[in-house]
């Protein structure tokens, strides 16, 4: 089983809310898992140092998520077909790039494109070329209902992984976001997440 170091600390956490800028900072207690094979889990850093780097990871995710959400929202406002899209934060901690696999996904449905983005980001992440990655796509809040939501899959190499789900409406070409809900998700890009084995203490 993959071992995790668990940290809880206060930090500026990204919360997606109403347009035009759907990302704001909010002070919250954050629990971060550091996978055993992470760059921070070599036994050479104190918990205080781990917390410091975890805050850096959150700040980088805010930067990446804000840029990706603004670009994706612009496409929604133009009436573009809402297909999955992905962005990455390079290992310099500053440069944000959108991944373009359109030539390979021309006829692929949305769920297949998501899998292809995950595979592409995993390949780049495992070579240490990026610090963080996000995949954005839209879907229904509940099956059979009209309410729609933007989903942001996000991961950071410092041990952060989750899904942010933000209900939205479009009226007269303007996108309005509601309160976001963030849920944990298994690692799919930076690490192999084997999950917790019941009864196995490590």
Question: In 28-131, which ranges are continuous DSSP H helix?
Answer: 47-78, 110-126
From residue 1, how far is each of 143, 186, 199, 201 by CA, in Å?
35, 13, 12, 10
Provide CB contacts within 8 A for 142, sequence distance 6+.
none
Q: Which pLDDT does position 5 carry in this prediction? A: 44
Q: How much is the pTM?
A: 0.72
Q: Which pLDDT does position 130 carry in this prediction? A: 94
**CA neighbours closer than 13 Å in the CB half-sphere of residue 196:** 8
Question: Which residues does the chain have with pLDDT short of 70?
Answer: 1-45, 50, 105-106, 143-146, 193-202
């Amino acid at each position: 089983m993959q071992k995790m170091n668990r940290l809880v600390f206060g930090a500026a956490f990204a919360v997606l809310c109403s347009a035009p800028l759907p990302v704001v900072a909010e002070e919250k207690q954050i629990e971060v898992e550091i996978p055993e094979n992470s760059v921070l889990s070599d036994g050479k850093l104190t918990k205080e140092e781990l917390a410091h780097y975890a805050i850096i990871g959150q700040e980088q995710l805010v930067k990446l998520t804000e840029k990706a959400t603004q670009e994706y929202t612009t496409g929604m406002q133009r009436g573009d077909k809402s297909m999955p899209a992905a962005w990455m934060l390079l290992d310099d901690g500053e440069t944000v790039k959108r991944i373009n696999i359109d030539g390979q996904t021309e006829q692929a449905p949305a769920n297949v494109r998501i899998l292809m983005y995950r595979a592409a980001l995993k390949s780049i992440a495992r070579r240490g070329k990026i610090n963080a990655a996000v995949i954005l796509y839209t879907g229904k809040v509940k099956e059979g209902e009209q309410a729609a939501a933007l989903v942001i899959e996000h991961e950071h190499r410092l041990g952060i992984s989750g899904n942010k789900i933000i209900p939205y409406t479009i009226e007269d070409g303007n996108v309005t976001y509601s309160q976001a809900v963030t849920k944990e998700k298994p690692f799919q890009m930076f690490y192999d997440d084997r999950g917790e084995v019941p009864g196995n203490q490590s």
